[in-house]
Amino acid sequence: MLVAGSDIHSIANGRVLESEWLETAPALAAERNLRDLVHLNRWFGGHRALLQVLQKLVHPQDRFSVLDVGAASGDMGKCISRSYKHAVVVSLDHRITHLRQATPPRVVADAFALPFRDHSFDYVFCSLLLHHFSDRRAVALVGKLLRFARRALIVLDVERHPLAYFFLPLTRWLLYWSDLTVHDGRVSVAASFKADELRGIGQRAGAKEAQIRRHWPWFRISMVIPSNPNDRRDTWAGETA
C-alpha cells in the first residue's frame, strides 16, 4: 500500500483501482470478512443509507421485487425484508460460497450476464459493487442492470474520502477488523466515487435522470436511476443530474 501522504493525494485526484484480497482469500478469511461487512453495514451506515433511499421509492405495505446484485451474505436484502414485509428479494452473487448466509431465493451468476428477462424486477440493487470496476466497465454494468428494472436501478457505494479511507485502520484496535477487511476496505474507498463521478457514470450509461445522494456522516453515496423518469412515486430529496 501507499504511504499516508500519497494515499491522501491519490484519493483527492481520482479513483485508484487495486486488487482486493477477498477474490483469492481462503474460505475462513473470506467468511470473517463477510461478517465484518455485515457489521459495517449495520453499525456504520449501510443499512441506514439503503432505507433512506427506499423510503423515497416505496411505502411500508407495498409489494415489490428486488434483485440484489453482488449480494454476498445477503445482509442488505435481509434489511429490506425486515422493513418491507411484502418485498421479495432475490440475492445474486458470482460465488456460491458468498451466498451461504443469504436468504433464498439465491442465484449464482455473473453481473454482466444475468439469467433473467428484461424488466423482471421492480428494482435492481447493488451495494459496494460498482467500485470494483473501471469507469468503462462501471458504465457498461449500469447500462446492463438497468435493463432488468421495471421501476429503478439503485446503486449504493462508499464515498471516496480520506476519513473513510483511514476509518478501518484507526478503529481496528477497538473493533478487531481482520487483515483482509482493513486491506480491502482501504482499496474499496480508494476505488470508489465522488458524487459528480457517480453521476457521470449514470449519464454515460444512458440514464436520462440520475438521482445522487450523499449519506453523511457514513460516507455512503447512492444513485437512483428511474426506469421511466416520468413515472416516479415520489419527488427525490437529493441531488439530481
Strand 211-215 versus strand 220-226 pairing type? antiparallel
Could you report the per-residue pLDDT of 48-60, keeping only the tens digit for each? 999 999 999 999 9
In angstroms, the Cα distances linking 33 to 43, 122, 190 are: 15, 30, 18
Cα-based distances in Å from 72 to 21, 128, 209, 231: 15, 10, 28, 31
Quick one: pLDDT band at residue 92, thresholds 50, 70, 90? very high
Per-residue pLDDT, averaged over 115-134, amounts to: 98
d(CA 177, CA 35): 10
Q: What is the mean pLDDT of residues 18-38?
A: 95
DSSP bridge partners of 222: 156, 213
pLDDT for 228: 74
Query: Is the pLDDT at 1 greater than 70, yes or no?
Result: no
Average pLDDT on 182-206 reads 97
Q: Please say whether the structural domain 62-159+192-227 has been given the CATH code 3.40.50.150.
A: yes
